[in-house]
Chain A
Amino acid sequence: AQRVTQPEKLLSVFKGAPVELKCNYSYSGSPELFWYVQYSRQRLQLLLRHISRESIKGFTADLNKGETSFHLKKPFAQEEDSAMYYCALNYGGATNKLIFGTGTLLAVQP
């Protein structure tokens, strides 16, 4: 069965430090992965998707099929990056049914 694991509930870093939010998945098909983010008092929104290979707000994520991982990285954290981050896997093809990880709260200290 498909599964998404985010092992860290909380990640606390200082401003300017590198950030890596971990995500591992289990899926028998060709994976399609996303990072969604929820800032304080805002709605859940898409941050990036692996298929686009883009950098959003300085964040990048590379799909590693060998390690079944899709870790989110940023070289220099900013205070405004503080938020809840969810890794998600599309298991439904064109239906885009998603399974989410439990989320990691990123707290960037000044």
Chain B
Amino acid sequence: NAGVTQTPKFQVLKTGQSMTLQCAQDMNHNSMYWYRQDPGMGLRLIYYSASEGTTDKGEVPNGYNVSRLNKREFSLRLESAAPSQTSVYFCASSEGGARGETQYFGPGTRLLVL
């Protein structure tokens, strides 16, 4: 099992460009998450999805959209990238529905917005 996979690993964008970060999990998990990590800060939740077709905002959702088209995949879209969105983005998944579940993380995507 690959666990949680993310593509791309690294991306450079110009201000105003758009892109989609892809995340997939092969653990049959219901819940999926997108976080961003900035230097000197902890991971911050951008969006959460409890199941296919449902999404919910986290701490820092502004400037992002997400799609949960099926159980495996949860994508994060930047419609018009800004330098403030330069960060490392992590996707995670968990079984879903119970408190205290382990979240399994992907390797991260490094995004640089010029």
CB distance from B48 to the nearest CB of A (A): 6
Tally B residues with Cβ within 8 Å of A: 29
Contacts of A102 in B (CB 8 A): 40-42
Selected contact of B90 from candidates A34, A44, A51, CB within 8 Å: A44
A contact residues around B44 at 8 Å (CB): 99-100
Given A90-B99, A101-B42, A96–B106 Cβ distance below 8 Å?
no
Contacts of A45 in B (CB 8 A): 104-105
- Can you pick out 19 interface pairs between chain A and chain B where the beta carbons lie within 8 Å of each other? A43-B3, A43-B105, A44-B43, A45-B104, A49-B100, A49-B102, A51-B100, A88-B42, A90-B100, A92-B48, A95-B31, A95-B50, A95-B56, A96-B101, A99-B45, A99-B59, A101-B42, A102-B41, A102-B42
